[in-house]
Homo-oligomer: A and B are copies of this chain.
Amino acid sequence: MARVLTRQAEDFPRWYQDVLAKAQLAENGPVRGTMVIRPDGYALWERMQAEVDDRIKVDGARNAYFPLFIPESYLRREAKHVEGFSPELAVVTVGGGKELEEPVIVRPTSETIINASFAKWVQSYRDLPLLINQWANVVRWELRPRLFLRTTEFLWQEGHTAHATEAEAREYAIRILRDVYEDFMVDVLALPVVVGRKTARERFAGATNTMTLELMTGDGKALQMGTSHELGQNFARVFGIEFLAPSGQRDYAWQTSWGSSTRMVGGLIMAHGDDDGLRVPPRLAPTQVAVLVVKEAAREAAERLADDLRTAGVRVAVDAAADLPFGRRTVDWELKGVPLRVEVGPRDLAEDRVMLARRTSRTKAPVPLGGLVDAVRTALVKDQVALFAEAEQRRGARIADVKTVEDAAEAATGGWARVPWAELGVEGEARLAERSVSVRCLTRPDGSLPAAEDEPDLLAYCARAY
């Protein structure tokens, strides 16, 4: 049989494009760099949204919505911020048939416009902390677009908070990083992300500290899956977010911002996918089990089993297209990465059993009818764990501990390099950058977050990045 997808080992980026197309996840929009997210791709994003949103709410932030259009002048107020974003902006110059007096920017991120509101809302310490999140689209003109990973328009959530002290702001930025992003990525996406601190070179434009979660993709590169920033008082000063402390003194608020985007869909595919397509972790999967009617005669039994599974809290789809070739149907479900497939045919039914196929391990075995619900539950739990373990093992095998720039660049051709930051330094970082390798993040030797870039004994994770 002809292969549906390019093999990963042959051409990983092409394999990725093939999966997106064949599993009908996404395709290019007509304007360069834009993306159409098809229903099966969007369902993954909706599940991600629900899980991330729940966690954000537990951490106390409330959703709100701010305008897409930002006056050009707002962006100019924070010097590093405008410098960082200027090359990527989309500018509206005509509105309602007329040339605009002041052009407006399509938001690349919302620090400026949200902080202009914060300045109105914050008067006293009683108004703090102010914890806001927004689900929105943002636009950054992209010269080398890649679906989900880097698109001119993408969907994301961006959190923005204001606090009375630096310590509170720092604590909250870390809380979001750990309780929202890391918890979600590890527990739901089954992705062993490395959590660390960005170097000054890689910091968000306008932040005093950027913390990140870095994923190793199937081809040993790195993908930034989410970031949480301390903004210090930078934006508070330029937008005038001032509050009256209980002491009677006025002070500028301390701020954070943090975001995660549709890029996570790309990361999921690149980390868990195999030569047969996507593999979706059971806890995320919009459809956890596909129940296939092998022959029309088995349809009623299949519907009953599907109902049993739904009653047990499993997310189920029934594939009743018994008139289509069976092989094509199973290939399609494998492409889409649905964790389990229950094949219900008259011959198996006659023996009081069905076939249970597991996408993660590519195994298939008969299960007695009465034991199906338990077997499905067990497989969903095990395969969630197995996907994480597999990704973690790859990561372990593909990180090389090295000491020199030369060795780091070499290691980064097929994996990551871990280098003592003291050996590398900003100079070594610059030399790696010339070879398209970046320092993805810094961690302490025990893996915990550094409080500063100049702590002793820090480790730098270096890789080529998507």
Contacts and interface: CB of A to CB of B under 8 A. Distances in A.
A85 to B, nearest CB: 11
Contacts of A142: 96
Interface stretch (A86-94, A180-188, A371-379, A423-431): A86-94
Contact of A106 (B106, B113, B141): B106
A464 B145 CA distance: 48
Given A95-B90, A141-B96, A67 B106 contact: no
B94 A90 contact: yes
Interface in A53-70: 62-70
Interface string A29-62: 1110011111101110110000000000000001
B155 A30 contact: no
Given A36-B64, A143-B96, A69 B117 contact: no
B92 A87 contact: no
Contact of A29 (B46, B66, B152): B66
Contacts of A306: none
Nearest to A86: B97
Given A29-B113, A30-B74, A31-B70, A64 B39 contact: yes
A95 B152 CA distance: 10
A153 interface: yes
A46 B135 CA distance: 11
Nearest to A324: B126
Nearest to A74: B30
Nearest to A140: B96
Contact of A66 (B36, B63, B65, B117): B36
Given A29-B113, A39-B64, A97 B106 contact: no
A93 B96 contact: no
Given A68-B139, A104-B31, A113-B30, A63 B91 contact: no
Nearest to A39: B62
A64 B38 contact: yes
A402 interface: no
A400 to B, nearest CB: 36
Nearest to A321: B126
| A43, A63, A65, A120 pick with most chain B CB within 10 angstroms | A65
Given A62-B39, A97-B86, A141-B96, A34 B67 contact: yes
Contact of A63 (B46, B113, B116): B46
A132 interface: yes
Interface in A141-161: 141-143, 152-153, 155
Given A67-B31, A68-B139, A96 B104 contact: no
A71 interface: yes
Contacts of A35: 65, 67
Nearest to A102: B31
Interface of A: 27, 29-31, 34-39, 41-43, 45-46, 62-71, 74, 86-97, 103-104, 106, 113, 116-117, 120, 132, 136-137, 139, 141-143, 152-153, 155
Given A30-B67, A90-B92, A92-B106, 12 more contacts: A29-B67, A30-B74, A30-B116, A36-B66, A43-B63, A45-B65, A68-B153, A87-B97, A90-B94, A90-B95, A91-B92, A95-B141
24 contacts: A27-B117, A29-B113, A30-B67, A30-B71, A30-B74, A31-B69, A35-B65, A37-B66, A39-B64, A42-B62, A45-B65, A67-B153, A68-B139, A69-B139, A87-B97, A89-B94, A89-B95, A89-B96, A91-B92, A92-B92, A92-B93, A93-B93, A95-B152, A106-B106
